[in-house]
Amino acid sequence: MPYDEDLADRLRAFLHGQRGVREQKMFGGLAFLVNGNMAVAASREGGLLLRVDPEQTDALLRRVHSAPFVMRGRPMDGWLRVDAEGVGTKRQLESWARVGVEYAKTLPAKR
């Protein structure tokens, strides 16, 4: 299943005008990178794939609609999935996307 184009457009609108943002196809979805670091993506599985501060992973997993990002059977600290129901409104989407963007801004820039 391809990623949700409407969700990608909503992410573009939120990120419009922010410095250092670019798009890249990753993990079968469309990722938005800040200074070369993945921040948030429209996932091919629906909803968002989100990069977060690993120290905040457990706290963020207590929020409704969030789940660990699992790769090769292993949950990845610092990465979350947010299901489509968790980003249905502008407020929900921006709240989650802001977490990923703010964390990505703290990371060293990549080329």
Give the mean pLDDT per block of 10 residues along the chain (111 residues): 91 96 93 98 95 96 96 92 97 98 97 72
Which residue shows structure tokens 């670019």? Answer: 22
The pLDDT of residue 1 is: 60
pLDDT given for residue 71 in this prediction = 87
Structure tokens at 44: 């091919």
Radius of gyration of the chain (CA): 13
Q: Three-state SS for 53?
A: coil
Edge to edge, the sheet with strand 37-42 lists 21-26, 29-34, 37-42, 48-51, 74-82, 66-71
Q: Which fold, 5-106?
A: Aspartate Aminotransferase, domain 1 (3.90.1150)
Domain spans in the chain, listed from the N-terminal domain onward: 5-106
pLDDT at 40: 98
